[in-house]
């Protein structure tokens, strides 16, 4: 097992390894487990592990982005209250990034905040959602527009869970891993592009630990996302728009893969290094769903509501070169041009 | 004008005086004013004051607790998004405590947090809701069960607004002022009980500044409400139950007045000083609506969901003596007995 300590206040640890579920001990008298309903068997087993410590209750959530709705948020809060949870309660999320986004926002706001733990079950959740304390739900107007910062008190990533998922889910989540490589550790990109990279890769624990470290370093330097941490949004501006316009039919990791290629195209247009060979190679590895060629005006409407948009325009995370991210406003005509190139170069069907 | 500085991070000021609305300047390009719909005229005037600095949009909210609903919260967020508010936006609440509770929770969670300002228009909001950063909405299961800590960046209490309110509203709000007196500055209690105390009292600015200081000191010592700040809940455990059971027909300040008398009865039962003459004198001043004599079992169900309840029982704020609050679990039979006494001693009709 590898343990990464995050030097936040209070500090907490991310544990990465195999067979970790059996080892989880929480010192709370009342524990609410919020689990993806597709994981009911794992959830039941986890509840049995936790039960010796106190009262454990299970609330099953819809799978995927469907759970990040206002109505599910409201139901979750009412359920906690009707089950008698008080300030001595704690919340544990079992599932992918959507599950921990919703459960984390519930934990951040029920009684103005309960302790929160995460057992991430997807690659994406391990390298991204579990670290950093961002929680969120969606509005009809766009993704992650509502939320709070609420750091977990502990994370257990048990990698045998990854083998139970469809290959597409793993490759989707690899987008965030690849992103961490581009931003700070290019050797991680090379690992992802090695033939056969998957849930059974021998040094997966080591690779994921390095990816989590990239994020952990940025989060510790900027827990409220007002500075350096912004670079983690690389690829996400276009991604959120694609997710919104496809009503979340496109998985987050696939949208991020297109978003990274788009950001690489923008970076080149802005006069920086041409890294599109890297982002295209990742698309070839991932094999995302076909890119829907929305008119630019439709995308623009979503992008203007992005959290990095303000009255001066939209700020993008670009790459000056490998491991050299920067943040800058990009003129609308260049955003439009890069979108035309993304649609035109057959990115979706190579 | 009196200014009280709160030494929080970042620090902010509460300004108390007359004619302050004309003086407000905010350095934000986009300002959303959330106002109680009963204050549309004041809101329009305030928007005109703010407009030179940037774009100002007005969202009118239902009056009173009705605004602290999940559906109004959701509508507020969608409205902000559809109006194109980004991270360079800010939110200003104009109204009583319910308005700033709702608007503050919106400000805490939209895009994970926008700057927040308050122009309180009721006595209760000035001495309580405007200071401390607690924001909240209600669930069908109880009051203030969902929320976040989000400190305002500035508060302007302009006392001429108090003269426009019904006398009952002022007397209701005086409960929180009286509470601050009991907890820390008994001379404030004496001021409230002087004949003719009201919106035209000559030294009102000074009295309110002292009351705000009581709260400010506790908040600075304990911004997350995990320690000394708990004493501010004096009278509130019963109050929230009365509000819930009357579907908020009983105003907060009147429920707090009964709650303080109840807590004084509990304190006496617990062996502390008998301060019920003070709390009864306040009831005589305030003239709240008649106390509905709910069976204890009905109250108990609400009280058990209180934020100060946990699996060991319910903690109450009691008074060992004037200005000597303490927090302790109270056995159920004493809670029940004090309720019988409250119902039996004609508190509501003297």
Give one DSSP letter per residue of A204-273, joined into a string: HHHHHHHHHHHHHHHHHH-TTSSSGGGGGGTTHHHHHHHHHHTTT-S-HHHHHHHHHHHHHHHHHHTTS-
Residue B164: its pLDDT value, please?
87
| CA atoms of B324 and B333, how far apart (whole Å) | 24
Length of chain B: 350
pTM of the model: 0.91
Question: Which residue among B81, B307, B312 places its CB closest to the CB of A305?
Answer: B81
Is the model's pLDDT at A9 over the cut of 50? Answer: yes
On whether the CB atoms of residues A97 and A144 are closer than 8 A, the answer is no
Chain A hits for B237, CB-CB cut-off 8 Å, are none
**Nearest C-alpha neighbor of A157 from the set A117, A187, A190:** A117
**Nearest C-alpha neighbor of A84 from the set A26, A153, A31:** A31
Chain A hits for B145, CB-CB cut-off 8 Å, are 77, 81, 110-111
Residue B305: its pLDDT value, please?
81
Chain-centroid distance, C-alpha B136? 11
Sort strands A324-329 and A313-321 into parallel, antiparallel or unpaired: antiparallel
Structure-token pair, residue A96: 């992918």
| CA atoms of B102 and B109, how far apart (whole Å) | 11
Phi, then psi, of B141 in degrees rounded to 5: -80, -15
Is the model's pLDDT at A90 over the cut of 60? Answer: yes
Chain B window 222-281: which residues touch A at a Cβ cutoff of 8 Å?
Answer: 224-225
| CA atoms of B242 and A198, how far apart (whole Å) | 58
| CA atoms of A80 and A86, how far apart (whole Å) | 9
Chain A window 303-322: which residues touch B at a Cβ cutoff of 8 Å?
Answer: 304-312
| CA atoms of B40 and A37, how far apart (whole Å) | 47
- The verdict on a CB contact (< 8 Å) between A87 and B139 is no
Residue A346: its pLDDT value, please?
55
Does residue A155 sit in helix, strand or coil? strand
On whether the CB atoms of residues A2 and A15 are closer than 8 A, the answer is yes
Q: What is the pLDDT of residues A208-220, one digit of tens each?
A: 999 999 999 998 8
Q: What is the DSSP letter of B289?
A: P
Query: Mean pLDDT, chain A, as a whole number?
Result: 94
Q: Across the A/B interface, how many CB contacts are shorter than 8 Å?
A: 106
Chain B hits for A142, CB-CB cut-off 8 Å, are 81
ipTM: 0.89
Does residue A299 sit in helix, strand or coil? helix
Q: What is the pLDDT of residues A280-338, one digit of tens each?
A: 999 999 999 999 999 999 999 989 887 777 878 899 999 999 999 999 999 999 999 99
Residue B349: its pLDDT value, please?
44
Chain-centroid distance, C-alpha B225? 15
- The verdict on a CB contact (< 8 Å) between A139 and B81 is yes
Q: What is the pLDDT of residues A168-184, one digit of tens each?
A: 999 999 999 999 999 99
What contacts 24+ positions apart, CB below 8 Å, involve B185-192? B185/B210, B185/B211, B185/B214, B185/B323, B186/B322, B186/B323, B188/B214, B189/B278, B189/B282, B192/B282, B192/B285
**Nearest C-alpha neighbor of A161 from the set A121, A203, A130, A120:** A121
Residue ranges of chain B whose pLDDT lies below 70: 346-350
Q: What is the DSSP letter of B63?
A: S
C-alpha distances in Å from residue B344, one per residue of B104, B237, B293, B340: 39, 20, 9, 6
Q: Please count the CA atoms within 13 angstroms of the CA of A222 that sit on its side-chain side.
A: 11
Is the model's pLDDT at A234 over the cut of 70? Answer: yes
**Nearest C-alpha neighbor of A331 from the set A312, A318, A345, A306:** A312
Q: How many CB atoms lie within 10 A of CB A20?
A: 18
**A141 contacts chain B (CB < 8 A):** yes
The crossing angle, in degrees rounded to 10, of helices A276-286 and A167-184 is 160
CA distance B258 to chain A (A): 24
CA distance A88 to chain B (A): 6
Chain A hits for B84, CB-CB cut-off 8 Å, are 304-305
Chain A hits for B223, CB-CB cut-off 8 Å, are none
- The verdict on a CB contact (< 8 Å) between A112 and B148 is yes
A188 vs A302, more confident: A188
Chain B window 50-109: which residues touch A at a Cβ cutoff of 8 Å?
Answer: 55, 70, 74, 77-78, 81-82, 84, 86-88, 105, 108-109
Torsion of the alpha carbons at B215, B216, B222 and B223, rounded to the nearest 10 = 110
**For residue A164, what pLDDT band results from cuts at 50, 70 and 90?**
confident
- Segment A114-129 mean pLDDT: 95
The residue in chain B having the minimum alpha-carbon distance to the alpha carbon of residue A142 is: B81
Q: Give ∠ CA A191-A195-A200 in degrees, rounded to 5.
A: 75
């Amino acid at each position: 097992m590898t343990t990464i300590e995050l030097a936040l206040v209070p500090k907490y640890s991310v544990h990465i390894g195999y067979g970790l579920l059996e080892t989880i001990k929480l010192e709370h008298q009342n524990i609410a487990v919020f689990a993806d309903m597709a994981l009911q068997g794992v959830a039941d087993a986890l509840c049995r592990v936790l039960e010796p410590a106190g009262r454990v209750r299970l609330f099953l959530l819809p799978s995927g982005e469907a759970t990040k709705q206002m109505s599910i948020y409201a139901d979750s809060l009412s359920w906690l209250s009707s089950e008698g949870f008080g300030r001595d309660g704690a919340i544990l999320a079992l599932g992918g990034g959507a599950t921990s986004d919703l459960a984390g926002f519930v934990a951040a706001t029920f009684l103005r905040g309960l302790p929160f733990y995460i057992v991430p079950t997807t690659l994406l959740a391990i390298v991204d959602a579990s670290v950093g304390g961002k929680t969120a739900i969606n509005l009809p107007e766009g993704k992650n527009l509502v939320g709070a910062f609420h750091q977990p008190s502990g994370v257990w990533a048990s990698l045998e869970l990854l083998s139970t998922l469809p290959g597409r889910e793993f490759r989707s989540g690899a987008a965030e891993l690849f992103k961490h490589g581009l931003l700070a550790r290019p050797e991680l990109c090379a690992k992802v592009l090695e033939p056969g990279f998957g849930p059974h890769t021998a040094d997966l624990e080591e690779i994921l630990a390095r990816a989590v470290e990239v994020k952990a370093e940025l989060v510790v330097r900027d827990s409220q996302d007002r500075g350096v941490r912004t670079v983690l949004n690389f690829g996400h501006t276009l991604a959120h728009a694609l997710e919104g316009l496809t009503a979340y039919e496109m998985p987050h990791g696939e949208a991020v893969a297109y978003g990274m290629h788009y950001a690489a195209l923008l970076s080149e247009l802005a006069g920086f290094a041409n890294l599109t060979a890297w982002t295209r190679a990742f698309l070839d590895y991932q094999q995302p769903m076909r890119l829907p060629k929305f008119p630019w005006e439709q995308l623009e409407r979503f992008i203007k509501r992005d959290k990095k948009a303000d009255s001066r325009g939209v700020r993008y995370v670009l790459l000056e070169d490998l491991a050299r991210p920067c943040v800058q406003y990009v003129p609308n005509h260049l955003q439009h041009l890069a979108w035309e190139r993304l649609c035109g170069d057959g990115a979706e069907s190579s």
